[in-house]
Amino acid sequence: MNELIINLNKLNTAHIIKPGPKDMILQNIRKNICLNPDTLNGLPLQVTQYDMIKNRSTLLIPDSMRAKTPKEIRNIKNQLVRESFRFHESENANKSFKKARVHRLIRRFRYTIIILSKRFVQDVKNVMENISMSSLSKAKLDVAKENPNLPMQLRFEVSSLKIINKLLSVEDLTLPTREDKKRNIIGRIYDQVLVKLKWYNFPNIQIVRGNPIVSTEDNFDNLLFSVGNAGRSSTYTRYVDENHVLMTHTSALVPQAFREWAKKKSDPLTFVFPGLVYRRDVIDPRHLDVFHQIDVWTLQESKKYGITNREDLLRLVRAVFEASCPDAKMIVYEAKHPYTINGIEVYAEIGEEKIEVLEAGLAHPEVLRKAGIDPEIYSGLALGMGIERLIMARKRLPDIRLIRSTDPLVIKQMANMEQFKNVSNQPAMSRDMSYCVSKNDTEEDICEAIRNAFAEKSDLLEQVEILERTPFEKLTLVAKERLGVRDGQDNVLVRIILRHPDKTLTKKQAAELYTMAYPILHQGTSKGYEVK
């Protein structure tokens, strides 16, 4: 018998898998086509016995079913559901499969073909296309599937080089300070963390400062974030290209450090990952889009040094807590994190207020396994903390931007944890702007557009508040004409407050900035409303 190999992409009907009962058949389909298991429910599978040709998207058809044209290929679908055939190792088959490992898979089996529903065929096609998709494109599909009821459509786009360079120019205050400058409170907390880790006898402390540009795999996948996590969208994360992001947490440096450690498997190590992290966020006195984090992770051979446990975890937590909140009461709550097991969140009780300090847990075995470390042999701890919000709460700062103030009187206060005392009372400038945005723009998108519109003066932005949002359908005819609003757009009324923490801003300067920003922000076809 002669055989003909037809590409599955052309045939668009079948996939051959290993023999077995129905449960095993479904399992193999999931594995080999990588589809959501829910897609398989209720499929009219007509199956008896199968063989799989590994990594080949081909279907073997006897000479009697040979087809030369697309129309003929489509016509054989109905025949395949009724007919089975025997495949014998023939001379032509030997020529077709020259690789011995593939040829050995071909046996004298009775074959039956799986006929797929239209929906399943489309899913198979999508999966085949996903193999060559970028991380950003995959995220767009996965996030949409996992979050079908989001009120706004998330963004999936690469940030401009100008924005990336601006963000990367922000100074990391955990780095050594020049001799002519005072050490900022952020650097002082980081220094105390190192001191306390040594005091608590954590071994072989290794400081890791990696590239702030990391792969999406290290930022999300290798830390076990779900494929549909909304944080993968560019609404919250800054993509440098289709497969790399500015790290959204210092934990993104962990997988690479662990992979390097796995090559030599040295004595127990305590990894400290300090640095800046980058996110798209709202504009208000409590949030920044670039801020500091510190991660502390440990690794040790379980047989030699013991499996890391709750007692070890609390010892690490106490070391970091004492470095950041030495005079506060520590409160521990159970919590879940993707990259830990037996996770906790730790708060500081100061007076009647509870301030979140850090999160921690036992390093998840799968995180170790993905880095090439056997979790049956090694174990570890994981801890992460943000610094700015902690400082803001402890010092009672009215504006988080004060941490980076250039005013000498403020700089002096940023060298300790004492309660902040106002050194000036700069007046705020406020304007309400009414303009058009896409109906899919989130609050983060609107704030990002405002940052970009104010450009190098964006450090003056103290707060952005969306006072009102009206969809196209509910606008009056007069408003539609005045704004030039189109279907698919919303009219937003936004209050933009300008104030520099330690510099005076005149009314004239503020008015010029508002006037400059409005035409950049407004997406309507008319001039809109004048800024008053």
For residue 205 the two structure tokens come to 């402390």
Claim to verify: residue 380 and residue 257 sit in the same structural domain: yes
Residue 225 lies in a domain: no
Claim to verify: residue 258 and residue 111 sit in the same structural domain: no
Residue 54 predicted with pLDDT over 90? no
- 235 and 442 Cβ atoms separated by less than 8 Å: yes
What would the mean pLDDT of 337-362 be, rounded to a whole number? 93
How far apart, in whole angstroms, are the C-alpha atoms of residue 45 and residue 113?
9
For residue 300 the two structure tokens come to 């040790």
Claim to verify: residue 183 and residue 291 sit in the same structural domain: yes
Domain containing residue 340: CATH number:
3.30.930.10
What would the mean pLDDT of 7-20 be, rounded to a whole number? 35
Residue 526 lies in a domain: no
Claim to verify: residue 188 and residue 330 sit in the same structural domain: yes
Claim to verify: residue 348 and residue 437 sit in the same structural domain: no
How far apart, in whole angstroms, are the C-alpha atoms of residue 532 and residue 528?
12
Confidence of residue 75 (pLDDT cuts 50, 70, 90): low
Residue 407 lies in a domain: no
Residue 445 predicted with pLDDT over 50? yes
For residue 357 the two structure tokens come to 């300090």
Claim to verify: residue 204 and residue 341 sit in the same structural domain: yes
How far apart, in whole angstroms, are the C-alpha atoms of residue 460 and residue 514?
12
Average pLDDT, the chain: 79
Claim to verify: residue 386 and residue 434 sit in the same structural domain: no
Residue 41 predicted with pLDDT over 60? no
Residue 60 predicted with pLDDT over 50? no
Claim to verify: residue 307 and residue 441 sit in the same structural domain: no
Q: What is the DSSP string of 336-385?
A: --TTEEEEEEEEEEETTEEEEEEEEEEEPHHHHHHTT--TTTEEEEEEEE
Of residues 169 and 142, more confidence is placed in 169
How many Cβ atoms from other residues are within 10 Å of residue 330's Cβ?
Answer: 15
What would the mean pLDDT of 287-293 be, rounded to a whole number? 95
Residue 532 lies in a domain: no
Percent of the chain with pLDDT over 70: 74
Residue 41 lies in a domain: yes
pLDDT tens, position by position, 479-532: 999 999 999 999 999 999 999 877 788 999 999 999 999 999 999 999 888 655
How far apart, in whole angstroms, are the C-alpha atoms of residue 154 and residue 131?
23
pLDDT the model gives residue 129:
54
Residue 237 lies in a domain: no
Residue 106 predicted with pLDDT over 80? no
Strand partners, 485: none
Which range of residues forms the domain containing residue 471? 429-521
For residue 197 the two structure tokens come to 């880790």
Between the alpha carbon of residue 357 and those of residues 254, 328, 345, 394, 401, the distances in Å are 20, 11, 8, 10, 19
**Radius of gyration for the alpha carbons in the chain, expressed in angstroms and rounded:** 30
pLDDT the model gives residue 337:
96
Residue 368 lies in a domain: yes
Residues with Cβ within 8 Å of residue 92, at least 6 apart in sequence: 2, 3
Q: DSSP class of residue 233?
A: S
Q: Is 405 helix (H, G, I), strand (E, B) or coil?
A: coil
- 136 and 239 Cβ atoms separated by less than 8 Å: yes
Q: What is the DSSP string of 236-302?
A: TS-EEETTEEE-SSGGGGHHHHHHHHHHH--S-EEEEEEEEEE-----STT--SEEEEEEEEEEEEH
What would the mean pLDDT of 329-353 be, rounded to a whole number? 93
Of residues 73 and 398, more confidence is placed in 398
Domain containing residue 500: CATH number:
3.30.70.380
Please give the sequence-ordered ranges of beta strands (E in DSSP) within 366-454, or none if there are none: 378-386, 429-438
Claim to verify: residue 346 and residue 207 sit in the same structural domain: yes
pTM: 0.72
Residue 51 lies in a domain: yes
Q: Which residues of 88-108 are buried (b: 16+ CB within 10 A; e: fewer)?
A: eeeeebeebbeeeeeeeebee
Claim to verify: residue 192 and residue 307 sit in the same structural domain: yes
pLDDT the model gives residue 502:
76
Of the three residues 64, 95, 130, the one that is the final residue of a domain is 130
Residues comprising the chain, all counted: 532
Confidence of residue 80 (pLDDT cuts 50, 70, 90): very low
Three-state secondary structure readout of 475-510: CCHHHHHHHCCCCCEEEEEEEEEECCCCCCCCHHHH
Residue 26 predicted with pLDDT over 50? no
Claim to verify: residue 38 and residue 120 sit in the same structural domain: yes
Residue 409 predicted with pLDDT over 70? yes
207: number of CA atoms within 13 Å, CB side?
14
For residue 383 the two structure tokens come to 């801890």
Claim to verify: residue 389 and residue 437 sit in the same structural domain: no
How far apart, in whole angstroms, are the C-alpha atoms of residue 240 and residue 64?
54
Total domains in the chain come to 3
Confidence of residue 448 (pLDDT cuts 50, 70, 90): very high
